[in-house]
Amino acid sequence: MISVLGRRSLAVLALHAVLLCAQDASEWPMYGRDAGGTKYSPLDQINAKNVSTLARVWSYHTGDPGGTWENTPIVVGNTMYFATRKNRVVALDPETGQELWTYDPKSKQLSEHRGVSYWPGDSKTRPRIILATEARLIALDAKSGKPALDFGDNGEVNLRTGVADNYPDAHYAITSPPAIYKGLIILGPSVPEGPSKGPSGDPRAFDAKSGKLVWRFHAVPQPGEPGNETWGPDGWKDRAGPSAWGAMTIDNERGMVFIPMGNPSDSFYGADRKGINLYANSVVALDAATGKLRWYFQTVHHDLFDFDMAAPPSLVEATSNGRRVPAVAEFSKSGLLYVLDRVTGKPIWGVEERPVPPSDVPGEESWPTQPFPVKPPPLTRLSMTRDEVSNISPEAHAYCLEQFDKVKNLGPFTTFSINETRLLFPSTMGGADWAGVAFDPKLGYIFANASNLGQTGRMVAAAPGSPMPFRNQGGYARFIDKDGYPCNQPPWGELSAVDTHTGDVVWRIPLGSYDELEAKGLKNTGAINLGGAIATSGGLVFIAATADGKFRAFESRTGKELWVTKLDSVGNATPITYRGRNGKQYVVIVAGGPGHLRGSPIPPSDVVIAFALP
């Protein structure tokens, strides 16, 4: 007789086998490796027993300026594809790093680009690489890198058309690789977060062969549509955003696309949008073929904190009422991990609406409660007391204590005040940010990395004639000491594993450690981080991300660090792993520089680095 645990293990292995049959185990063909964004590879040549011998085997320099380069390459058909900071697409031999071809779209600006997408084509159309950047959607022949001339206007679609026509000078850009569903390219934009009027943030789908628009979902419901009333009497009119700049995921079996929606504009003042502001700060599930709404779940009501939903909603399985069900895991800037039923959008382990501090800004009507998951507990710091001021040195303690006494923190979802400077945890960078989680289907563990970093600011009257009556002064100022370290006590970065069978945290460890602090005896402080983790069948979790410029591997079951190496610069990206034609497994990370982790002394770079066993 097979035990309940045995049946559960067999079911997981059966699901794993189905996933392997549907996709070449040797490849990393899309941003999250699979359409559901699990960031899990079934490869196990590199494992917990031998990862300590992992060594660099090749490097490729793009020649572009370093900095905010958050790219995750893809590997399909023994070719690696990625985009540079100048939005050039590069194809490499994934075994040697040798350049095969490049395409230059002649961009006028540098980009925070996170990657390209692959469409396999059909019986009449060759496979294509899809580049979405700035306000351009470009289709390239995957073999040659030449534009697909039958797509849009000689290979390109102007994405501003129909959504940003009235705001020709406003920011409108695509920063995450589009999702691919059958013959559709599904994407969302990054748009201004202030003032309140500006380009639409609507997600859209385009035909992968012709480039023609197929559907458009209203991120701000229009009159007559459900949710329009959540913006007050006229708050929906010409509303900028909310952005849909994070990566999307697909459930091919159910024909669903899952979209992380950003915060409403203006980011910190919402008197002209009274209500909860759907579908801002929500996981939105749409019919992937038509764009029709299936369900939504809002994680922040009437956002005044810039707590975007930016992470890909990863498709996982979780135990609900004793049985495994398909679910979605969304780790947010607010430091809270939401695990939702994939079919209905209902929280797997429950959510409580808890009272939060009110706003004192004239005209503002902050929402009195916010949704907190019953499980798992918060994976980042949500508040701070005077006893928790940094003590890494007497100088840092004195400086940070002085700063702390000038601000006030009222707990989770502390609003910015007109009367005093406030301290908010997490910062607008998170908590978590755009990278999202990884999921190991064999263990049933979700792996989530996050920062423990605060920010300070206050609301002040805007200058006469400004589009908004109040603005945030210093709202993106980080709560750090003179050397750039957070003013709260370590750990400043953490990596956690959550068991989807119970909703409990299995392990939680500091992520990152600064050499200069270790030399003073301060080890395992953790480091603020941007970028994501991947999991493998070899029992490993790989992650760079940290401001210390290091790349690490952990044992997935226990969180034990098994390997660490110093990169050329900070790897603010998510790594990949794949198997070459030579049978060797590789792990690759992009190292572009500190980017948004400003204050790091590590210089920028432009390098793609591959590691393998000797």
Q: Say how many C-beta atoms besides its own lie within 10 A of residue 132's C-beta.
A: 28
Q: Are 425 and 454 in contact (CB under 8 A)?
A: yes
CA-CA distance, 121 to 182, in Å (whole number)? 9
The two tokens of residue 428 are 């607008």
Q: Say how many C-beta atoms besides its own lie within 10 A of residue 215's C-beta.
A: 18
SS3 499: strand
User: Where are the alpha helices (H) located in 424-519, listed in sequence order?
Assistant: 515-518
SS3 129: strand
Q: Is 306 noted as a catalytic residue in this protein?
A: yes
Amino acid identity for residue 64 in this structure: D
CA-CA distance, 215 to 491, in Å (whole number)? 45
Name the burial class of residue 46, with classes exposed (0-12), middle (13-18) and buried (19+) by CB atoms within 10 angstroms of its CB.
buried
Q: Say how many C-beta atoms besides its own lie within 10 A of residue 257's C-beta.
A: 26
DSSP-derived pairing of the beta strands 136-141 and 128-133: antiparallel
The two tokens of residue 555 are 């044992």
Query: What DSSP string describes 300-336?
Result: SSS-SS-----S--EEEEEEETTEEEEEEEEE-TTS-
SS3 22: helix
Q: Which of 306, 433, 481, 568 is catalytic?
A: 306
Tokens 């503002």 correspond to 364
CA-CA distance, 468 to 271, in Å (whole number)? 9
Please enumerate in sequence order all residues whose Cβ is within 8 A of that of 271, keeping only pairs 6 or more positions apart, or say none: 361, 362, 363, 364, 365, 469
Q: What is the chain's Cα-based Rg?
A: 23
CA-CA distance, 303 to 243, in Å (whole number)? 13
CA-CA distance, 119 to 207, in Å (whole number)? 11
Amino acid identity for residue 63 in this structure: G
- Rounded to the nearest angstrom, the gap between the alpha carbon of residue 430 and the centroid of all alpha carbons in its chain is 10
Cα-based torsion angle of the residue sequence 487, 493, 498, 503 in order, rounded to the nearest 10 degrees:
10
CA-CA distance, 181 to 462, in Å (whole number)? 45
Nearest to 88 by CA among 101, 72, 76: 101
SS3 10: helix
Q: Are 71 and 90 in contact (CB under 8 A)?
A: no
The two tokens of residue 595 are 């980017």
Query: What DSSP string describes 266-296?
Result: SSS--TTS-S--TTTTEEEEEETTT--EEEE
Q: Are 536 and 43 in contact (CB under 8 A)?
A: yes
CA distances from 583 to 580, 602, 610 (A): 5, 35, 15
User: Where are the alpha helices (H) located in 452-537, listed in sequence order?
Assistant: 515-518
Active site residues: 306
